[in-house]
Amino acid sequence: MQQQIPYNMRTFHLYLEDLLLKKCLPTRFTLLIALCGAAHAADLTPVNGLSLPMTPPAIDAASWVLMDATTGQILTSGQPDERRNPASLTKLMTGYVVDRAIDQKRITRDDMVTVGKDAWAAGNPLFKGSSLMFLKPGEKVSVRDLSRGVIIDSGNDACVALADYVAGSQNNFVTMMNHYVEKLALSNTHFETVHGLDAPGQFTTARDLAILSRAIISGEPDFYQMYSEKSLTWNGITQQNRNGLLWDKELHVDGLKTGHTESAGFNIIASSLDGQRRLIAVVMGGKSPKGREEQAHKLLVWGQRHFDTVQLFHAGKEIGHENVWYGNPHRIALGSDKDLFFTLPRDEVQHVKAKYVIERKDLEAPIKLHEQVGVIQLMQGDKQLASYPLVALQSVAEAGLITRITDYIKLKF
């Protein structure tokens, strides 16, 4: 499997049997946000200089992104870092903050929230003509139902009720939102409101929203399920989810959200599941409700038809071994301590190879378990697509005195 080439480099083919994501990925797989948000999905984006044998679809919108949710790779984009008004896509971060508060056990989904006057449409002129859950002042509503009102109805009143309950005020809640902006490394995002109505200084990008969506999907599957609900009835009023792609039987869309203001245009984030492979499409500044759905649909269909996500390496599985001086044992198994995935054009999967490079002239004991000793490079011809840490899959202790002396003589003479 390995070619005999210089001591500090090994090249090996990636055999792709059983590597396609839809065949091998566990039902509840999560690449922790340590890789996604903080790692920006950045070491892997965007299909890193990979030549695309197919033309991406033409998208009629101000900016857009298509992301593979497992790897975080951007498969195609247009103006992905253009700062734009998020409108109700802001509510993704509102829901994310609420969910973090639940995870931290500061609140529970069953807590009952008393609706204040500032969350009452008739008492807040800012809400005139905007999307609402139609809460009544003084009524008690569970955190779970308010969250559904935020996600399904896009209720600005529900956003305010949750913000007051979680943080004591809308201003405090916005501070929490921007805290998570930093934590997820959303470098072109800043929030000024809990609901997304136009406000000076509030902006985000298609790329940042894709990263946030990925964090929502991978972080809390139970919470994410709310994004697939098609309607909500509250106080005798039934409202349909504005994400029309939820009814698309071809794509299996199960989230996320739409948004619109006059300055923002028509925005949508849609996530589709094909087998166990998930894509996230973000479209900002669309021309109409139908138009934004059509553009997201084109992106998702293109991504499903032309790409595959493969598992390159299994955590803890040996991909090579090397000699170790002054140690016991004398050979060490090398590989990755994480499951590693990569998204490729379907026609290019068989052309990808990998090599590993030892970063030291000689490997010498002691070596700790999972200590990095080199890098794994994913290659297409002479083009590097990505790199990952090469680590020791076992520890190697120093050998006894006689072995160390023998190794010293072999190395030096």
Query: What residues are annotated to the active site?
Result: 88, 91, 154
- How far are the Cα atoms of 9, 140, 367 from residue 325, in angstroms, in the given order? 18, 69, 10
268 forms bridges with which residues in the sheet? 258, 283
- Give the whole-angstrom CA distance, residue 166 versus residue 158: 12
**Are the CB atoms for 246 and 254 separated by under 8 Å?**
yes
**Are the CB atoms for 48 and 352 separated by under 8 Å?**
no
The residues, any chain, with a CB within 8 Å of residue 294's CB and separated by 6 or more, are none
- Give the whole-angstrom CA distance, residue 206 versus residue 63: 7
The angle that helices 143-151 and 156-167 make with each other, rounded to 10 degrees, is 140
**257 carries a ligand binding annotation:** yes
- Give the whole-angstrom CA distance, residue 236 versus residue 150: 17
Which structure tokens are listed for 63? Answer: 């900016």
Which region, left, alpha or beta, applies to residue 252 given φ > 0 means left and ψ of -120 to 50 means alpha? left
**Are the CB atoms for 312 and 387 separated by under 8 Å?**
no
Q: In terms of DSSP H, where are the helices of 32-81? A: none
- For residue 330, how many C-alpha atoms fall within 13 Å in the half-sphere facing its CB? 5
**Are the CB atoms for 147 and 226 separated by under 8 Å?**
yes
User: Per 3-state DSSP, what percentage of the chain is helix, strand, and coil (rounded to 5)?
Assistant: 30, 30, 40
First to last CA, the chain: 32
DSSP state of 40: T
Output the known binding site for substrate.
Answer: 257
